[in-house]
């Protein structure tokens, strides 16, 4: 039989060394020096082995107690190995996994995101995270594991997606810490481990001469009348492409000359007012007989139950000869922002009309109508300015102060 001294002084060899005790218990010393307790036994006519732990965490006395417990199971016709597997499966089933916490976090906070944003967030988890660490107990996940998961995204060149995924994982880990399912947010350990994203600019035309040419080209569009109206309104309203294509008739008041976009549709989750110029009202009034009986101002060509595709405006621009590095649907925002600033309009009014983030949460709850009288004047002047550019006139910047 083994003694504590013999176990402590056991030396490794070129091959695994086995030091036997009694009742099938033995100590296996690996060539690298590690010492494992093993139990050899027979069940169902077959010889089997199970691990009883690692020395010195499990002492000789502890190993013998575990051996005796296993032999009691054998005496009752129970395979200790099968019992061990069932225990592990039960522990795994009870573990709070990363996927479980992520889905719980998502269910609680998805209402604070636009439907599109929420869908993209969950798609990132399901495609890039859950297959690798979703089943892991969230408390046991280490920074290198998370980094290996993010590296797979980085390897396909999706650097921005990699950064967004780390950000989302951090939100899940912080939620887990607050819920008592994790000790810390390990995503912070990845800071500096992923290459920085290149600053991304949406292609846009900000020179008045280029803008004038674009406006004239839009008038030559030969496709769907609905798409034509969307193309003509995009530079006038300069809302985000997703906001434009999801516009609903019940949000638009032609009498009050305004479009109120609900907070649920806005990126910043705040109601947004878009004053409608005379030119915008004329386009909407012309479109209303065609699509006004339905829900969407710009319905899909396949079904009025859905809005036009997110690629419709960009595809129309390509059809008109503008490459994706020249102009995009989002580029109308940059065009308006730059040119309105050059025309001397109040920068705060421009920012409010662009519906950019309001950093002060208390102000954000009350300022959706901020600068509204000035914005109404600005939007009408902007449409007039576009008409003059389209007509080919040399337009001198019109400062807001002179309006």
Q: What is the pLDDT of residues 265-291, one digit of tens each?
A: 887 777 889 999 999 999 999 999 999
Residue 72, phi then psi, degrees to nearest 5: -65, -40
Q: Are residues 170 and 245 in the same domain?
A: no
Q: Are residues 109 and 87 in the same domain?
A: no
Q: Give dist(CA 230, CA 241) in Å, integer.
A: 10
**Does 397 reside within a domain?**
yes
**Which of 190, 216, 234 marks a domain boundary?**
190
Nearest CA among 368, 355, 392 for reference residue 114: 355
**Does 203 reside within a domain?**
no
Q: Are residues 23 and 86 in the same domain?
A: yes
Give the pLDDT confidence of 45-73 residue by residue, as tens digits: 899 999 998 999 999 999 999 999 999 99
**Does 336 reside within a domain?**
yes
Tokens linked to 366: 């009350």
CATH no. for residue 65?
Answer: 3.30.160.390
Tokens linked to 296: 């969407």
Q: Are residues 237 and 329 in the same domain?
A: yes
- The beta-carbon contacts of 80-89 under 8 Å, at least 24 apart in sequence, are 80/39, 80/41, 80/43, 80/50, 81/43, 81/48, 81/50, 84/50
Q: Give dist(CA 271, CA 366) in Å, integer.
A: 10
Q: Are residues 292 and 374 in the same domain?
A: yes
Number of other CB atoms surrounding residue 240 within 10 Å: 20
Query: What is the domain range of residue 280?
Result: 208-402
pLDDT tier, 362 (very low <50, low <70, confident <90, very high otherwise): very low
Looking at the structure of the chain, the number of domains it has is 3
Give the pLDDT confidence of 10-29 residue by residue, as tens digits: 999 999 999 999 999 999 99
Could you give the dihedral angle defined by the CA atoms of residues 135, 137, 143 and 147, in that order, rounded to the nearest 10 degrees? 10
Q: What is the pLDDT of residue 84?
A: 80
Q: Give dist(CA 225, CA 289) in Å, integer.
A: 12
CA angle 356/358/360 to nearest 5° reads 170
Q: Are residues 89 and 112 in the same domain?
A: no
Residues that are catalytic: 240, 267, 330, 333, 356, 366
**Does 197 reside within a domain?**
no
Name beta bridge partners: 362: none
Q: Are residues 337 and 229 in the same domain?
A: yes
């Amino acid at each position: 039989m083994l003694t504590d001294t013999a176990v402590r002084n056991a030396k490794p060899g070129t091959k695994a060394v086995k030091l036997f005790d009694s009742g099938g218990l033995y100590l296996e010393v690996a060539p690298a020096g590690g010492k494992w307790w093993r139990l050899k036994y027979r069940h169902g006519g077959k010889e089997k082995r199970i691990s009883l732990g690692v020395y010195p965490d499990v002492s000789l006395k502890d190993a013998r107690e575990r051996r005796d417990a296993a032999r009691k199971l054998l005496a009752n016709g129970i395979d200790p190995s099968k019992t061990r597997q069932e225990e592990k499966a039960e522990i795994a089933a009870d573990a709070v996994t990363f996927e479980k916490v992520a889905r719980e976090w998502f269910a609680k906070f998805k209402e604070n995101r636009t439907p599109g944003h929420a869908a993209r967030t969950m798609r990132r988890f399901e495609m890039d995270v859950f297959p690798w660490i979703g089943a892991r107990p969230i408390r046991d996940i280490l920074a290198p594991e998370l980094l290996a998961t993010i590296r797979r995204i980085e390897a396909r060149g999706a650097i921005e997606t990699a950064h967004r995924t780390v950000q989302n994982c951090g939100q899940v880990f912080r939620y887990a810490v607050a819920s008592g399912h994790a000790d810390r947010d390990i995503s912070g350990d990845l800071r500096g481990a992923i290459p920085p994203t290149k600053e991304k600019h949406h292609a846009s035309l900000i020179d008045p001469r280029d803008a004038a040419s674009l406006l004239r080209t839009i008038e030559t569009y030969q496709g769907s009348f609905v798409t034509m109206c969307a193309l003509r309104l995009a530079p006038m309203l300069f809302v985000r492409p997703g906001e434009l294509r999801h516009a609903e008739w019940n949000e638009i008041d032609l009498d009050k000359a305004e479009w109120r976009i609900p907070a649920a549709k806005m990126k910043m989750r705040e109601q947004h007012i878009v004053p409608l110029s005379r030119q915008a009202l004329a386009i909407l009034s012309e479109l209303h007989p065609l699509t006004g009986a339905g829900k969407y101002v710009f319905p899909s060509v396949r079904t009025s139950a859905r809005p036009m595709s997110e690629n419709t405006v960009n595809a129309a621009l390509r059809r008109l000869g503008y490459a994706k590095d020249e102009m995009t649907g989002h580029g109308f925002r940059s065009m308006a922002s730059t040119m309105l600033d050059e025309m001397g309009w109040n920068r705060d009014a421009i920012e409010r009309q662009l519906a950019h983030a309001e950093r002060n949460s208390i102000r954000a709850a009350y300022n959706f109508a901020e600068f509204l009288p000035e914005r109404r004047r600005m939007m009408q002047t902007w449409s007039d300015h576009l008409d003059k550019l389209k007509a080919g006139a040399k337009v001198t910047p019109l400062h807001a102060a002179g309006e």
